[in-house]
Homo-oligomer: A and B are copies of this chain.
Amino acid sequence: MTAGPHSPNALMIRKLDSIFSLSDEERQALRDLPVQVKTATTDRDIVSIGDRPSQSCLILEGFTCVYKLTYEGKRQIMALHVPGDIPDMQSLHLKVMDFSISPISPCTVGLIQHEHLRDVCERYPRITAAFWRETLVDASIYREWLLNIGRREAYSRMAHLLCEFLMRLNAVGLAEGDTFDLPVTQAVLADATGISSVHMNRVIQALRADGLIQTLKTQVTVPDREKLQEAGEFDPLYLHLKESGAA
C-alpha cells in the first residue's frame, strides 16, 4: 500500500516522472497515496455511467475500455487503457460519470480516494499539472479517434488502432519489440473502431494477408512497423509521449 519501487503506483509514477522529472518529495507523495487493489473481470463494469464515484481507478494489470451505448444497445468504445493509466481522473472534477469503464481482459486496478488525490494536488502544484496533462493527452487521443472513425475506412482504422496500442505498450515496457499481447475479442476491436464484428474479422484477415500483422493466439506481431503506420496514417504526435524540445 506504500513505499518501494514496487508500489502499485510505480508505473504511473514512472510515466509522470518521464515528462515532469519529479522531485524526490513529489515521487514519495505519490508512492504514499493509499491504493486499494482490486481484481476485475470482463463481465462487470468497474464504474458505470451515472455513478458518482468518490475515487478514481489506476490500471495496474490488464486492459480496460471506456464505452457508451446507444439506445439500441450498440456499443462504442472511446478509449483503451493500459497499466499506468487513470481512465477516470475526470471524476475528480465532474461529479457524475458520463461513461462506463469495463475491463476487456482480466484486470487488477487500484482505487484511490479523491480526497487523497486532492490532497497531493493541493500540496504539489506540479503534480496537479501532471495529472491535468494526463487528462489532456486522453482528450488528444479522443480527437485522433474521431478522425480515425469519422474519416478513415475500416482497414486504416484498425491499422491505426494497432499502431497506437503498440506504441503505448512500448512506452510502459509492456511490449517485447514488435510483439504484444492483445487478449481481446474481435467484437471489442469492432466496437473500438465503429464497425461490425463481422467486418472486423474480414479486416483482420486482410491485414494478415497483406503481411501487416501476424497473429498467434492472442499475440500480435508487427513485422514492419512502418508499413502498418503508413496503412493507418499513424503519426504519434497526438500521444504527446515526450515534449520534443521546448517552446
Contact = CB atoms under 8 A, between A and B. Distances in A.
Interface stretch (A56-64, A93-101, A215-223): A93-101
Interface stretch (A28-36, A138-146, A169-177): A138-146
A78 B147 contact: yes
A226 interface: no
Nearest to A247: B52
Given A78-B146, A147-B78, A243 B95 contact: yes
Nearest to A93: B133
B142 A146 contact: yes
Contacts of A244: 95-96
Contacts of A93: 129, 132-133, 136
Interface stretch (A10-18, A67-75, A179-187, A205-213): A67-75
Given A52-B247, A135-B136, A150-B149, A143 B95 contact: no
B233 A70 contact: yes
Contacts of A68: 143-144, 147
Contacts of A139: 90, 135, 138-139, 142
